[in-house]
Structure 1
Amino acid sequence: MRDPKVSEARRFCSKCEEPVGRGKDGKPGRSEGFCPNCGTPFSFVPRLHQGDLINDRYEVLGALAYGGLGWIYLARDRNVSDSVSDRWVVLKGLINTADEDAMAAAVTERRYLVEIDHPSIVKIHDFVQHPDPKTGVPVGYIVMEYVGGQSLRDILMARRSEGQRVLPLAEVLAYAAEVLPAIGYLHGRDLLYCDFKPDNVIHAEEQLKLIDLGAVRRADDDVSAVYGTPGYQAPEVADVGPSVAADIYTVGRSLAVLSFEFRGFSTTYAGKLPDRAEVPLLVQEESYHRLLLRSTHRDPARRFQTATDMTEQLLGVLREVLSANDGLPRSVVSRQFTPERRAFGTAAGEVTPIRCQPTCCPRGGRRAAAAPGGRARPGRRLPRHAQQHRPRRAGAAAGVAAGAQHRGLAPPGPRPDRGG
């Protein structure tokens, strides 16, 4: 970032969360100063600069972006670089505090993140401290692997610039099917992710990775600060704290944001979904609507209780969507959102209604005959996870492309005519 700046709209006090650094009477706001509400000092100027050496090991190359805990920096690990290649890492602020003992305790407490080892989760290498250049107070940083690629939010924004308002449903479901096991892995280690959203998932080549572990906390931690994002965070977190069910909620909200135009998701609809009749996709895809209803239910006890449970049901919906798009049969369907249908292929595109089991929703319903499918977009691959859902039929290409070319989700040719 050549000229690192934080827009005034993103400037808030780290303590009372009131707006700070805002312009007045046509004059730009201050990038450093004190909160007029509580007096807490604020600074939106990068603490680290190109050439700074952190912990006698990490050479700062520059600022990458600004996040909830401050600036994120790109650095080079001088301990492992050689004449052929360098190891790039990312430095992310860990905690905002002027208490040296609290900082040391926070760094020690967070070292458990180094033990996280999952292919779909960014690798944490180290925790370091470095004095603030102005105050001399140590500032803690997480050192993690650098992951190149676009976030799911970046992908969505790029599609919008091309005139495509949302991502195709099959693509969104395939992304979630790859990310959910990573969240389940954290839950299995009694850790909560807390701040899942499209911004925190990177599409790197053929793989998705969860990044930004700054909000991860132990499930039994009821002391440290809780971080989340309005519109994604479960409504009960403010009162009872984060939980596995709250993480499930954030995944459901992310699915909604990526798959349909969810205006007001952080304001008007911060704690609910829009009426089904207002969203054509939800009218067409009833099983998907029920998946969203359960994962984002206001009562945590009525959500999916594990990431594995949600993954299983989500894959059933994905198979249904793919089959409706290309008319090819796929085995294994959702046990929770039970489809009552004949096998695809008995009549091209024939789909019988799908009903929800009584344990899931208060009333049954009928799924629209078939959802419109999108054509393939060359140049981007979907998660490898989705290839297991391709049909076991000789000579048939797998599935339907959902916004990107992918093994297992590339269309075999023109879509078959599907009866209405």
Structure 2
Amino acid sequence: MLPAELNNKYEVRGTLGAGAMGTVYDAIDRIIERRVAIKVVKRPAENDAEAVEAHARFRREAQAAGRLSHPNIVGVYDYGENAHDAWIVMELVEGKSLKDRLDKNERFTIPDIVRIMGEVCAGLAYSHQRGVVHRDIKPGNIMMTTDGQVKIADFGIARLENSSMTQVGTLIGTPSYMAPEQFRGEPVDLRADIWSSGVMLYQLLTGEKPFEGGFSAVMHKALHTEPPPPSQLSVTTPRGFDAVIARALAKRPDDRFRSAGEFADAIRAAVHAPAAAAEPAGLPGLPGLNDDATMVAARPAGGGTMNRPAAAAPPAPATPTGKGAPIGLIAGGAGALVVAAAAGWYFVAGPGAGPDPAIAERQRQEQAAAEASAREAAARLQAAQEASAREAAAREQAARTEAAQQLPIARRGRGDLALGFRAARLGRRDAGIERGIG
């Protein structure tokens, strides 16, 4: 039950949830008769590093949310600890999370999406103005009251300005919603929340996440690929949202919206905005594990296979004799382009940002596909050349056959002409004889 320090002030009405880390109680403040949620966790042992980190996150949630008071943020009223437990007393939200509704395949109308995102952005703008970056915006942390009001919850991994708790070089967040700079373990600011909110907007519009798959696949896509514009996946999405998503999910933080308020304005304007130029379609989602749990992990150190460019192209097959296409040259050139692209990325990104083994494997697969495509194109060209040569040879043979057929006729004609000349000579001789007799 509740720690002894809380029994005099709060009365427990029920349990809202329980897990390995602790329990959340439905309670009422006896003094002011206000319903609250009380989250109670056990104090960790000092030699359990993971539990100590979880406890630090719990305290950070109270520190971050405790300095915020906004209609679109779950309020925190109190925090306390004793020798065995720690607790947070917070606002009780009667309703479900946005994730609960999305998991039931519930789709929202465009006006509802604009309203939901407007309230999320309002809460974030207030938080950012007070030096708090959430760093884990996702549907599971967006509570919705029974009348549809949005409440941002769980500031457990928030970054506080001027706080020593900021963890540079650590991967913190939920992979599907993490900004590129979070994957790289770099310091983050409010623009990481803009990215995460953009991912959530994309999911509300299309019913799909822009970057799907396991951790390595999601990281590769977030760093290097563009998702299909939402209007290509949903016929009900105005094309004005394509440009909004493209900017919210820009790889460089400087290319994103400068504030949550600016993002909200763009979302409202997108409903009636003219269609933007079509963006290149991204890669389809890769199959794999898709976990929405928040992750806190050290970023892998550079080195090993992660810093190596794609392997060199394998030897191309020998070029066929005759007038065939240079298959080896074409395939080798395609492979060289792939290797050059991988090496260029390596030198631009630097040793610490090399691809992980899954990315290297993907590059090798792309290289093999490029070589196979080149060989296939060369084979088609060679086949066309051989067919043309066969056709020419057939025409030449036909001409020879026709000439051979005409030769006896010509010879018979010359023989008939010779007989005619001989008959003429005989005729003249006979005529002379007749004149001599007469």
| Equivalent position amino acid for 1:281 in 2 | S
1:249 CA displacement:
0.6
Partner Cα distance (1:118, 1:167) in 2 = 24
Give the match's secondary structure for 1:231. Answer: helix
From the superposition, tell whether residues 315 and 184 of structure 1 become closer, same or farther in structure 2 (CA, over 3 Å): same
Query: What is residue 17 of structure 2 aligned with on the other side?
Result: 65
Give the match's secondary structure for 1:177. Answer: helix
**What aligned pairs does 1:285-364 form with structure 2 within 5 A after superposition?**
285-318=238-271, 320=272, 339=274, 354-355=275-276, 364=277
* TM-score, structure 2 normalization: 0.51
**What aligned pairs does 1:3-402 form with structure 2 within 5 A after superposition?**
49=1, 53-56=4-7, 57-60=9-12, 63-65=15-17, 70-80=21-31, 85=33, 87-91=35-39, 93=41, 98=46, 107=59, 110-111=62-63, 113-131=65-83, 138-158=84-104, 160=105, 166-204=107-145, 205-221=147-163, 223-224=165-166, 227-238=172-183, 239-262=185-208, 265=212, 267=214, 268-269=217-218, 271=222, 273-276=226-229, 279-281=232-234, 285-318=238-271, 320=272, 339=274, 354-355=275-276, 364-365=277-278
| Equivalent position amino acid for 2:119 in 1 | E
| Equivalent position amino acid for 2:240 in 1 | S
From the superposition, tell whether residues 280 and 111 of structure 1 become closer, same or farther in structure 2 (CA, over 3 Å): closer
1:97 CA displacement:
6.2
1:236 CA displacement:
1.2
1:74–1:90 Cα contact (<8 Å) kept: yes
Partner Cα distance (2:192, 2:148) in 1 = 28
Partner Cα distance (1:62, 1:224) in 2 = 36
1:89 CA displacement:
2.1
Deviations 1:166-198 (A, max 9, x none): 333332222101210110101000111111111
| Equivalent position amino acid for 1:116 in 2 | L
From the superposition, tell whether residues 65 and 257 of structure 1 become closer, same or farther in structure 2 (CA, over 3 Å): farther
| Equivalent position amino acid for 2:39 in 1 | L
1:154 CA displacement:
1.8
From the superposition, tell whether residues 282 and 92 of structure 1 become closer, same or farther in structure 2 (CA, over 3 Å): farther
Structure label with greater radius of gyration: 2
Partner Cα distance (2:111, 2:43) in 1 = 38
Give the match's secondary structure for 2:180. Answer: coil
User: Aligned residue pairs: how many?
Assistant: 262
Partner Cα distance (2:123, 2:236) in 1 = 30
1:245 CA displacement:
0.7
From the superposition, tell whether residues 62 and 201 of structure 1 become closer, same or farther in structure 2 (CA, over 3 Å): same
**Structure 2 residues without counterparts, runs of 5 or longer:** 280-438
From the superposition, tell whether residues 54 and 309 of structure 1 become closer, same or farther in structure 2 (CA, over 3 Å): same
Give the match's secondary structure for 1:194. Answer: coil
Tell me the percent identity: 22
1:229 CA displacement:
1.2
From the superposition, tell whether residues 70 and 307 of structure 1 become closer, same or farther in structure 2 (CA, over 3 Å): same
Partner Cα distance (2:124, 2:202) in 1 = 18
The CA RMSD measured in Å over matched residues stands at 3.7
From the superposition, tell whether residues 149 and 78 of structure 1 become closer, same or farther in structure 2 (CA, over 3 Å): closer
1:116 CA displacement:
1.2
From the superposition, tell whether residues 218 and 295 of structure 1 become closer, same or farther in structure 2 (CA, over 3 Å): same
Deviations 1:94-129 (A, max 9, x none): 986637999699849954632311111111001112
Give the match's secondary structure for 1:240. Answer: coil
Partner Cα distance (1:293, 1:282) in 2 = 18
1:74 CA displacement:
1.5
1:279 CA displacement:
3.9
1:127–1:141 Cα contact (<8 Å) kept: yes
Give the match's secondary structure for 2:157. Answer: coil
Deviations 1:341-372 (A, max 9, x none): xxxxxxxxxxxxx34xxxxxxxx449xxxxxx
* TM-score, structure 1 normalization: 0.53
| Equivalent position amino acid for 2:90 in 1 | M
Partner Cα distance (2:205, 2:56) in 1 = 42
1:95–1:139 Cα contact (<8 Å) kept: yes
From the superposition, tell whether residues 220 and 250 of structure 1 become closer, same or farther in structure 2 (CA, over 3 Å): farther
Q: Higher helix share goes to which structure?
A: 2
Partner Cα distance (1:229, 1:59) in 2 = 35
From the superposition, tell whether residues 220 and 273 of structure 1 become closer, same or farther in structure 2 (CA, over 3 Å): farther
Partner Cα distance (2:278, 2:236) in 1 = 11
Partner Cα distance (2:58, 2:96) in 1 = 30
Deviations 1:203-246 (A, max 9, x none): 21142211222232313435345742120121211421331110
Partner Cα distance (1:277, 1:146) in 2 = 35
From the superposition, tell whether residues 146 and 242 of structure 1 become closer, same or farther in structure 2 (CA, over 3 Å): same
Partner Cα distance (1:288, 1:53) in 2 = 53
| Equivalent position amino acid for 1:265 in 2 | E
